[in-house]
Amino acid sequence: MQDATGLPELPHLFGLLGEAYKDNVFLSFLGQWHNLFSSLCIVILLSVFAFLATRKTSLIPSGLQNVAELLVEGVDDFVRGIIGDHGRKYLPFIGTLFIYILLMNLFGFIPFMESATASWSTTLALALCVFCYTLYTGIKTMGLLGYVDHLAGKPRGMLAFSIVLPLFFFALHLVSELLRPVSLSLRLRSNIWGDDLLLAMLTSFGFQGLPILFWNTLTAILTAVIQAVVFSLLSTVYFALILNEE
């Protein structure tokens, strides 16, 4: 298969159905918006997992409840280690981001499935969620004027009367804030898309390329985990820069 740019890509179910049944409106729509439907599959899987893990909770966890508690405790330690104890409020958001992105990254290693994070539209949407939430948190915590003061570098004394330096810092921080979702989304998308493209090219070598394909698949799985951690880490740091501003 080839993507919209003509580059090779691994065959995936939604794309194959869209190509095979172009006259069918629904399947054609499914093929065009395959990344969206792949991400929705992860939402359904996570919803089913959450329901089964919390259906019959007990003081001594077992089965899926044990897995869920291990995930929550791990992410909780991760978030509080960066933000502090008051960062637990943002644990559901950051934890959901991590698990959601991790599963989307790994979903592409299942035959005839794909990683929705290989599409910039998916990663940009996630990054914009982080941007809007951190912006809301900053304004709610400091107030609108306090947030503007934060962007200006909190000028005090003679520095505040210089005008030039506060305006310079404000413009610099404003550009930095606006570039965050772009850099955050492109970093995740480029790594996952690059690994998918490499694996798709290696599969064209046939049996001769199996050793290289096997090794690169292992490194791609490692990259998928690391990128989920990096996205969550940077998101947590953005919250820490607002909440621990003092």
Cα dihedral across residues 29, 107, 223, 130: positive or negative: positive
Q: What is the structure's pLDDT at 19?
A: 74
What residues contact 189, with CB distance under 8 A and at least 6 apart?
117, 118, 119, 120, 122, 123, 124
Q: Which of 7-11, 17-21, 56-60, 219-223 has the lowest mean pLDDT?
A: 7-11
Compute the average pLDDT of residues 186-212: 82
Quote the pTM value: 0.86
The span from the CA of 37 to the CA of 32, in Å, is: 10
The span from the CA of 103 to the CA of 115, in Å, is: 9
What is the pLDDT confidence band of residue 160, given thresholds at 50, 70 and 90?
A: low
Long-range contacts made by residues 174-181, C-beta under 8 angstroms, separation at least 24? 177/131, 177/135, 177/151, 180/127, 180/130, 180/131, 180/238, 181/124, 181/127, 181/128, 181/130, 181/131
Q: What is the structure's pLDDT at 177?
A: 85
- Residue (of 241, 238, 246) closest to 94 by Cα position: 238
With vertex at residue 178, the alpha carbon angle to CA 152 and CA 192, rounded to the nearest 5 degrees, is: 140
pLDDT digits (tens, 9 = 90+) for 101-144: 999 999 988 888 888 898 889 999 999 999 999 999 888 888 88
Q: Which residue has the tokens 């503007």?
A: 148
Structural contact between residues 30 and 12, judged by C-beta atoms closer than 8 angstroms: no
Q: What is the structure's pLDDT at 130?
A: 94
Q: Map out the domains of the chain as residue ranges.
A: 59-243
Averaged pLDDT score across all residues of the chain? 83
pLDDT higher at 65 or 246: 65
Q: What is the structure's pLDDT at 1?
A: 57
Q: What is the structure's pLDDT at 146?
A: 81
Q: Which residue has the tokens 């570039």?
A: 179
pLDDT digits (tens, 9 = 90+) for 162-198: 677 778 878 888 888 889 899 999 999 999 988 888 8
